[in-house]
Structure 1
């Protein structure tokens, strides 16, 4: 992301003074008190600690702007990266002005964030809208807007992870073996495309919208080789059309009539034997970048899909999950393994081991019991199964 230039504000000091008025602006935003944007006790404590004095200037990004007009397309990660060296340290950014920025999830396009530096500390305040000021420098629009349903900006680009919230799924056991299954297809077709009919047997449990999966494969820990869960290959979705039944023919033999489904979306063509699982409710709002509260040291279990390595904005599976303390929104550091080498400077060949080098960041967006999925936010070298990650 290109970094915007600092805005030239002719009456910057006066604007900083008037920023107290923004409390009224914030109060006028009806969604500000919405309860469904979680802020953990630890994050709130961090914010309270810096709310009075702000943060040391040493914690600011080297070219942090004096102010920033929030744009459609901004994310909380983008804004944190503008002002702070570590974009996941959003509690400090929020805590710079706890009274005005009451909830970091609820920052809106058009708001002016003003950085005030005083006595070796920095505070962030919400200034008055400056859209009519001829000296205002507006940011160029991003590729696509990242707004929540209430108009607030999102924590990270949702379009990068949205498709995977229903697609990247790990089952703790091989439960799909007992799930409803496609037993026949429309007019005996070998494969089904969108809009075609599938016939299904099994307990539907009252659901009406289902994901379709191919046979799940064991997901193994790259170090211990133990099975962490079963990763199912996503096929698409199908909607319930009519129920199945039982009928008797002329010889009083019972026959089962399968339930009917229509294929609604596909990643690959569906077929006989594919399994169905109810579509869970999607939650796109409960993301806030933050570091784990406890030490984390794990490995990349696999690259999502069939690639052998991954780069920025791709998805990886981690060998740590809910039981290990990982949660949605955790930011993790990626490490490149140091290679084995030899010291030839002393006349011989002494074996040496070069240290691991940190070279990227992960953002955890989906957590299961023993496995998590993460987005590669940035990285220098290709990421492979077995690569190490830690707390940042």
Structure 2
């Protein structure tokens, strides 16, 4: 009888141990680890950084598997004035090609069980993933295109000129040494930088015949290396076009290229104006050509603004009576984008 009682005690003890162990594992199973949120993949437009010897033909072949799609790439990148001239460091947006970017999601909060008798239960709110990052901004144009485009000034801004050089040449570029007719008397100091430019012509408004100013072209930049009483020695540190003896100097101008958001919504500003001149002084222009308009910062225009080009209204037709104004509807003939407002 005692042996049976001891045996029963052992069975009960073993059962209790099994229940305790089972309870431990049940408890362990109910305490699961926090779920690790997965990273979200967001697609952004692919941007190619131009390298030496790159062409739109090669870029189209690389990303679009078809070199004949170079015109689509050119059309997507309005900052490229000439498809045959792209430069190292330029950013080219590839139409129809994207990069996958991993975005860190918001960590999922773990809700712990609480005693309902102490604090009422809180409502659970579904967590929304963070919005995808905006696409990277791209340059509106290139430094060379921005500088060579030139702009119209109201009055002459000359501070000095390049009057000579220790070189035997008369045409100069980056690294060449020149002499300028400014020195200590003019307040020039070692390390001063000046923009090199040349005036092209006086611009007259084609409608109002008002004198709009002088069209200038930015040629480059120089830095003073030695200062004398009324002259200085300088090195050319930037060259955007041919630099010659006699070219003029003005206070240094920042040639930073404006950056734009390719996905930004274009809001109309209600600005109207006229094309008053073209860089090459032609009566007709085409895609990529530089023109000058009679709207600027005072009108509310800013870099990147787009304008629709219309034929003028109210033109006199060939069969109209002399002096009679015939009503002609607007005809859209193109569009342009502001690259350097003044």
- Corresponding position of 2:59: none
Cα displacement string for residues 349-377 of structure 1 (whole angstroms, at most 9, x for unaligned residues): x9844322012222212110xxxxxxxxx
- Corresponding position of 2:99: 109
1:114-193 aligned at under 5 Å gives the runs 152-155=135-138, 158=140, 160-170=141-151, 172-177=153-158, 179-187=159-167, 189-193=169-173
Whole-angstrom CA distance in 1 between matches of 2:273 and 2:135? 34
Instruction: Say if 1:243 and 1:295 are closer, same or farther in 2 by CA, change over 3 A.
Output: same
- Corresponding position of 2:215: 231
RMSD of aligned C-alpha atoms?
4.2
| Counterpart secondary structure, 2:146 | helix
8 Å CA contact 2:41, 2:100 repeated in 1: no
- Corresponding position of 1:341: 317
| Counterpart secondary structure, 1:366 | coil
Answer yes or no: is 1:213 the counterpart of 2:203.
Answer: no
Cα displacement string for residues 43-93 of structure 1 (whole angstroms, at most 9, x for unaligned residues): xxxxxxxxxxxxxxxxxxxxxxxxx7632359xxxxxxx9xxxxxxxxxxx
Instruction: Say if 1:332 and 1:181 are closer, same or farther in 2 by CA, change over 3 A.
Output: same
> C-alpha displacement at 1:323, in angstroms?
0.9
> C-alpha displacement at 1:278, in angstroms?
1.0
Instruction: Say if 1:182 and 1:365 are closer, same or farther in 2 by CA, change over 3 A.
Output: same
8 Å CA contact 1:186, 1:196 repeated in 2: no
1:262 to 236, 241, 247: 236
> C-alpha displacement at 1:340, in angstroms?
3.9
1:300-379 aligned at under 5 Å gives the runs 300-337=275-312, 340-341=316-317, 352-368=326-342
> C-alpha displacement at 1:303, in angstroms?
1.3
> C-alpha displacement at 1:282, in angstroms?
0.8
TM-score (norm 2): 0.52
- Corresponding position of 2:122: none
| Counterpart secondary structure, 1:309 | coil
Whole-angstrom CA distance in 1 between matches of 2:44 and 2:260? 24
TM-score (norm 1): 0.46
Unpaired runs of 5+ residues, structure 1, are: 1-20, 27-67, 75-81, 83-107, 113-124, 129-149, 247-255, 345-349, 369-392
- Corresponding position of 1:201: 181
Equivalent pairs, count: 224
8 Å CA contact 2:160, 2:249 repeated in 1: yes
Whole-angstrom CA distance in 2 between matches of 1:151 and 1:185? 50
Instruction: Say if 1:189 and 1:326 are closer, same or farther in 2 by CA, change over 3 A.
Output: same
> C-alpha displacement at 1:187, in angstroms?
4.3
Whole-angstrom CA distance in 2 between matches of 1:275 and 1:293? 38
Between structure 1 and structure 2, the one with the greater Rg is: 2
Whole-angstrom CA distance in 1 between matches of 2:200 and 2:281? 14
8 Å CA contact 2:190, 2:227 repeated in 1: no
8 Å CA contact 1:208, 1:239 repeated in 2: yes
